[in-house]
Structure 1
Amino acid sequence: MNVPAINVSVFAPELALMLSIGIILIADLFVPEKSRTITYALALLAAVIAGALAATGIGAETATTFGGMFISDPMSSLLKVFASLATFTAFIYSRQYAADRGFMKGEFYVLGLASLLGQMVMISSHNLLVIYLGLELMSLALYALVALRRDSVQATEAAMKYFVLGALASGFLLYGISMIYGGAGSLDLAEIASAAASDQINEVVMVFGAVFLVAGIAFKLSAAPFHMWAPDVYEGSPTAVTLLIAGGPKLAAFAMIMRLLVDGLVPFAPDWQQMIGVLAVVSLAVGNLTAIAQTNIKRMLAYSAIGQIGFMLLGFMSGVVVGATPESVISAYSASMYYAIVYVITTLGSFGVLMLLARKDGDAGFDCVQIDDLKGLNRRSPWMAFVMLLLMFSLAGIPPTVGFYAKLAVLEAAIAADHLYVAIFAVMFSLVGAFYYLRVVKVMYFDEPTHNTPIQAPADASLALALNGALILLLGLFGDGLMLACLHSIKLAIPG
């Protein structure tokens, strides 16, 4: 029997991350309670090593291993770098927050890194079952993270909702995979694409399979109407865990759409694009309209995420259309990728501010969860208020922040694909969204503070937040490099 050769360099980031998780698990057994910073440092080092190894593949050629089931290309490498950066930054922001609440332990970091490992597997998967394995590894780690504070009724309730609805979404995805396998006779995405392009295939089965795949993906993206878990989970989870849910998994879900729909089912693009279009329009409406009524800032950011995902999906709706040139197709998908990366960077800073404003106050601690908790922030910490202002401006799409150029790129792709009315619809709801983002700015700068407690942010988290805010501004002013990297990676990722 011929055993296919295994190219270790293709999955070097995953291998390093897996070994790091094992080392941290063993090391944590011998680390005393007062020296948890050792576990924290090892977790940061693991994320840095995984990201550095992934970065070596950005300029490399596409390579596969495990019989073509696992792929390394510039797109996967770039997304892995930002997924590692998201986890690294989340750990930095959450160090003091987790220590004050008693869960700065090995379990928190191991589960966070396990989630990152699942994201990386999803990003590089080129086989339906491998995609599912990566998805479940990521999801199970996140379920456990949400329930990490066992003494919190709210966190336990959020974990149960997340688990039950996540299991339902996994069922959708598995049913879609079974139908695709039944129609194409293969689990390999390249073979599925080849079978889908032929005339000897049951189109009805393939389209139904695509419907269930899109439903499963929509849940992981928290796109409406599959968004019902997001507000409750965002609110009920500890803020450190909320950030892990809101960051890297969005990049992994983007990669899953690219692999499943663009790589595997591109001949059926007219069918799945209609579904993506509906999800985009409904997400824009539901996310932005519902966010207006929220007083809890974590719920507001959850509904904001739903609206932002609607924008990202516009790029997928604008990719493969009648009369589209290869350049316009690449531009549409790269605009979505650029938008996803920018959103993750902005989300990191937004939840980072909330964690830096939290403090130890009794057994439970004080969490910054209400919009009113930000009142008068400019008087208490002008630089933190300015960073939050930049983040809110970016989410609203106000120049010169990077969020404006991300929205502009997606709108240009939609207009180029003759989706003018959808683009106008998106702009209208962006204006609606600007209301609740600017409300946060108004509260910080024009309201009297309700808390006079001094803000004592750790030096590492303060530095990370400053860099986060600077990145939002610098990418807006000099962001061509990231867009070019997205264009290059998408160009090499699209078959043919």
Structure 2
Amino acid sequence: MLLFSSFLSLIIGSVLGLTQFKIKRLYAYSTISHVGFILLALSIHSVESTQAFIFYIIQYSLSNLNAFFILVLIGYTYVNYYKKTKGYESISSLYKGYKGKINELSPIEYIDNLKGYFYLNPILAISLSVTLYSFIGVPPLVGFFAKQMILSSALDNGDIFMCLVAILTSVISAVYYLYIVKHIFFEKSKYTHGALNVPLKEITNTQLQNILSLTSVNKYNTEHNTLTVSN
């Protein structure tokens, strides 16, 4: 039953994610795809699969939290941009005096809203891209080792078909993640260069802490895998 649920989650999350243009819906289908990997680990019933399950939960939670913080900061940069261009002294006064729809102040509902964001705020753009690459499972990021552990456990258990499905759906999922990266780095923005910069102090307390968390977990897992192989 768990294997069948894993199969459906991997297929639905990766294939239907290709049709999404809203960021929230895309992340929703992305989560379904990752749940497929988690269910695959739960279906194996071994020590290695249990370790892989726990590690996958931890790394995906950190990566997802990291992506959330980045998107919040990106939204803040848009609000800060409107505050400066409209001549308001503070963000609270902007919200009180703005006559249009509030969600227009932070236009990151669609993937197209991230066009050319690298040229506006390189730090946030690169941080978001690193997180997306971790979702894909690009080495040496932490997402790669999490998927590697689950696939290794599945191979040891003889679930070759599910391994092939997991790899194939990961490649399919990479398409919509790279679609976001393409918009960030290779599309033109309607905003002026540097208009959406956020002071480094504001980023340090949120974004950099999560990036360091991902890096430290990745480093620990690399050392753990090296010790396991050597033994």
TM-score (norm 1): 0.38
Query: Residue 465 of structure 1 aligns with which residue?
Result: 207
Query: Residue 70 of structure 2 aligns with which residue?
Result: 353
**Letter paired with 1:336:** F
Query: Residue 217 of structure 2 aligns with which residue?
Result: 475
**Letter paired with 1:465:** Q
Query: Residue 295 of structure 1 aligns with which residue?
Result: 21
Query: Residue 308 of structure 1 aligns with which residue?
Result: 34
Q: 1:435 to 1:475 in 2, by over 3 A?
A: same
Residues 284 and 306 in structure 1, CA contact (< 8 A), matched pair in contact too: yes
Query: Residue 391 of structure 1 aligns with which residue?
Result: 131
Query: Residue 50 of structure 2 aligns with which residue?
Result: 333
Q: C-alpha offsets along residues 127-162 of structure 1, whole Å, 9 cap, x if unaligned? A: xxxxxxxxxxxxxxxxxxxxxxxxxxxxxxxxxxxx
Q: Give me the whole-angstrom Cα distance separating, in 1, the residues matched to 2:50 and 2:162.
A: 17
Q: Give the CA deviation at 1:454.
A: 2.0
Q: C-alpha offsets along residues 280-329 of structure 1, whole Å, 9 cap, x if unaligned? A: 1100000011111111111101100000011111111111xxxxxxxxx1
Q: 1:450 to 1:462 in 2, by over 3 A?
A: farther
Q: Give me the whole-angstrom Cα distance separating, in 2, the residues matched to 1:351 and 1:293.
A: 21
Query: Residue 343 of structure 1 aligns with which residue?
Result: 60
SS in 2 for 1:479: helix
Q: Does 1:318 align with 2:44?
A: yes
Query: Residue 99 of structure 1 aligns with which residue?
Result: none
Q: Does 1:415 align with 2:164?
A: no
SS in 1 for 2:189: coil
Q: 1:424 to 1:381 in 2, by over 3 A?
A: same
Q: Give the CA deviation at 1:412.
A: 0.6
Q: Does 1:375 align with 2:125?
A: no
**Letter paired with 2:74:** L
Query: Residue 448 of structure 1 aligns with which residue?
Result: 188
- Which structure would you say has the larger Rg? 1
**Letter paired with 2:66:** G
Q: C-alpha offsets along residues 149-196 of structure 1, whole Å, 9 cap, x if unaligned? A: xxxxxxxxxxxxxxxxxxxxxxxxxxxxxxxxxxxxxxxxxxxxxxxx
Q: Give the CA deviation at 1:423.
A: 0.7
Residues 289 and 433 in structure 1, CA contact (< 8 A), matched pair in contact too: yes
Q: Give the CA deviation at 1:354.
A: 1.1
Residues 346 and 394 in structure 1, CA contact (< 8 A), matched pair in contact too: yes
Q: Give the CA deviation at 1:367.
A: 4.1
The number of equivalent residue pairs is: 201
Residues 133 and 141 in structure 2, CA contact (< 8 A), matched pair in contact too: yes
Q: Give the CA deviation at 1:473.
A: 3.6
Residues 295 and 371 in structure 1, CA contact (< 8 A), matched pair in contact too: yes
Q: What are the residue-to-residue correspondences of 1:53-132 with 2, within 5 Å?
A: none
Residues 296 and 371 in structure 1, CA contact (< 8 A), matched pair in contact too: yes
Q: What are the residue-to-residue correspondences of 1:11-22 with 2, within 5 Å?
A: none
Residues 354 and 369 in structure 1, CA contact (< 8 A), matched pair in contact too: no
Q: C-alpha offsets along residues 204-257 of structure 1, whole Å, 9 cap, x if unaligned? A: xxxxxxxxxxxxxxxxxxxxxxxxxxxxxxxxxxxxxxxxxxxxxxxxxxxxxx
**Letter paired with 2:4:** V
Query: Residue 403 of structure 1 aligns with which residue?
Result: 143
Residues 376 and 449 in structure 1, CA contact (< 8 A), matched pair in contact too: yes
Q: 1:481 to 1:367 in 2, by over 3 A?
A: farther
Residues 48 and 153 in structure 2, CA contact (< 8 A), matched pair in contact too: yes
Q: Give me the whole-angstrom Cα distance separating, in 2, the residues matched to 1:469 and 1:377.
A: 19
Query: Residue 436 of structure 1 aligns with which residue?
Result: 176
Q: Give the CA deviation at 1:481.
A: 7.0
Q: Give me the whole-angstrom Cα distance separating, in 1, the residues matched to 2:135 and 2:190.
A: 25
Q: 1:386 to 1:474 in 2, by over 3 A?
A: farther
Q: What are the residue-to-residue correspondences of 1:112-261 with 2, within 5 Å?
A: none
Q: Give the CA deviation at 1:467.
A: 2.5
Q: Give the CA deviation at 1:464.
A: 2.0
* Structure 2 spans left out of the alignment, 5+ residues: 83-97, 226-231
Residues 9 and 32 in structure 2, CA contact (< 8 A), matched pair in contact too: yes
Higher RCO structure (Cα 8 Å, ≥6 apart)? 2
Residues 121 and 198 in structure 2, CA contact (< 8 A), matched pair in contact too: no
Q: What are the residue-to-residue correspondences of 1:257-272 with 2, within 5 Å?
A: none
Q: 1:458 to 1:369 in 2, by over 3 A?
A: farther
SS in 1 for 2:185: helix
**Letter paired with 1:433:** S
Q: 1:474 to 1:446 in 2, by over 3 A?
A: farther
Q: Give the CA deviation at 1:345.
A: 0.5
TM-score (norm 2): 0.80
**Letter paired with 1:428:** L
